[in-house]
């Protein structure tokens, strides 16, 4: 039986109603499923954290390859379905909770997880909050493999000087090496979403850039992109420096204050924030 048929049978059997508010679209393409699991490079020494397991299709595939899978599901109505579809697997733990409220550091410690990959078909509405949470919390992840809206994937891999480049691009690329795995047609889901999707892989690594204060660095980045049409000088006025001090920051950094945020590389943002840090500390 095909994955599409199995999924539709389970949905029908449990009389499951898809929730638009939770962004539920179940993957029904075996080829794409294989690409996700293959790109995660799971083995008997690795563990997977999955957010939004749905009816457990991806969860099963991962459990066959790795030591343990922790699946976090927010939807009450999916828990009994998961308890049935995953009943034959002893290496899966289902956590009924909102992933944005889960203390993953505590969970990783309690479950003694090692060699961790975060793998998920993320609901579009939580993509940015989830990625922000796991990266800013500095979870000990090896990699993040997620299926997300194509436009968001484009933003994550975007380079300076493009309209897609923004604070999300910088957040992810500061902590990770990123690349797209594949495009995913809307016809690979039930029900089909209104947009195309992409699978993207983010391999975590220590930051390549010297940043004195990461909170300030990301604050500078956010300010620079808050009003994209503003020059950097005008965008960074709320940062807390007097105008003459701010002028001097750009002179020291050798960055034209009339440029706009989307033209700066991560290295340039790092240089700018480090100089601002010294001025604020005086």
Alpha carbons 219 and 222: distance in angstroms, whole number: 5
Cis peptide before 191 (omega within 30 of 0): yes
pLDDT value of residue 34: 95
What's this model's pTM, rounded to 2 decimal places?
A: 0.93
pLDDT value of residue 66: 97
pLDDT value of residue 58: 96
pLDDT value of residue 28: 92
Confidence of residue 119 (pLDDT cuts 50, 70, 90): very high
Confidence of residue 185 (pLDDT cuts 50, 70, 90): very high
Alpha carbons 6 and 54: distance in angstroms, whole number: 13
Confidence of residue 5 (pLDDT cuts 50, 70, 90): confident
Report which DSSP code applies to 76: G
Domains of the chain are 3-204 (3.40.50.150), 214-281 (1.10.8.100)
pLDDT value of residue 6: 85
pLDDT tens, 238-280? 999 999 999 999 999 999 999 999 999 999 999 999 999 999 9
Please count the helices (runs of H) and the strands (runs of E) in the chain: 12, 9
Answer whether 148's CB lies under 8 Å from 125's CB.
no
Using the structure block, give the residue that is written with the tokens 């997620």. Answer: 146
Answer whether 70's CB lies under 8 Å from 58's CB.
no
Percent of the chain with pLDDT over 70: 100
Reference 34, options 53, 56, 57, 50; nearest CA is 57
Percent of the chain with pLDDT over 90: 85
pLDDT value of residue 4: 79
Long-range contacts of 73-81 (CB under 8 A, 24+ apart): 73/97, 74/22, 74/98, 74/99, 75/19, 75/22, 75/24, 77/14, 77/16, 77/17, 78/16, 78/53, 78/54, 80/14, 81/10, 81/14, 81/16, 81/55, 81/56
Across 5-9, 68-72, 82-86, 157-161, least confident range: 5-9
pLDDT value of residue 69: 98
Query: Over 90: is that where the pLDDT of 79 sits?
Result: yes
Query: Over 90: is that where the pLDDT of 12 sits?
Result: no
Confidence of residue 198 (pLDDT cuts 50, 70, 90): very high
Answer whether 272's CB lies under 8 Å from 253's CB.
yes
Confidence of residue 44 (pLDDT cuts 50, 70, 90): very high
Region 130-145: mean pLDDT is: 96
Alpha carbons 70 and 68: distance in angstroms, whole number: 7
Alpha carbons 20 and 57: distance in angstroms, whole number: 20
Region 145-152: mean pLDDT is: 96
Helix spans in the chain (H) = 3-13, 30-40, 57-63, 79-85, 104-110, 127-136, 150-157, 167-175, 214-226, 232-235, 243-253, 266-281
């Amino acid at each position: 039986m095909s994955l599409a048929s199995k999924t539709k049978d389970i949905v029908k059997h449990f009389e499951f109603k898809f929730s638009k508010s939770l962004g539920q679209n179940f993957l029904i393409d075996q080829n794409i499923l294989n690409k996700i699991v293959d790109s995660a490079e799971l083995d008997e020494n690795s563990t997977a954290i999955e957010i939004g397991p749905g009816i457990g299709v991806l969860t099963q595939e991962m459990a066959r390859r790795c030591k343990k899978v922790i699946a976090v599901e927010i939807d009450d109505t999916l828990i009994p379905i998961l308890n049935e579809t995953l009943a034959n697997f002893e290496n899966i733990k289902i956590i009924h909770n909102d992933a944005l409220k889960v203390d993953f550091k505590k969970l990783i410690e309690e479950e003694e997880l090692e060699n961790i990959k975060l793998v998920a078909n993320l609901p579009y509405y939580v993509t940015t909050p989830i990625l922000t949470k796991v990266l800013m919390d500095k979870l000990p992840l090896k990699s993040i493999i997620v299926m997300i809206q194509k436009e968001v994937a484009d933003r994550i891999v975007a380079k300076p000087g493009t309209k897609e480049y923004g604070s999300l691009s910088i957040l992810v690329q500061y902590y990770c090496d990123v690349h797209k795995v594949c495009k995913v047609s809307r016809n690979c889901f039930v029900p089909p979403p209104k947009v195309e999707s992409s699978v993207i892989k983010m391999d975590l690594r220590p930051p390549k850039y010297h940043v004195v204060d990461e909170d300030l660095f990301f604050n500078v980045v956010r300010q620079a992109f808050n009003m994209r049409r503003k020059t950097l000088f005008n965008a960074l006025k709320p940062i807390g420096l007097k105008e003459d001090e701010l002028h001097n920051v750009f002179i020291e950094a050798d960055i034209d204050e009339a440029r706009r945020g989307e033209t700066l590389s991560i290295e340039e943002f790092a240089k700018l924030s480090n100089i601002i840090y010294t001025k604020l500390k005086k």
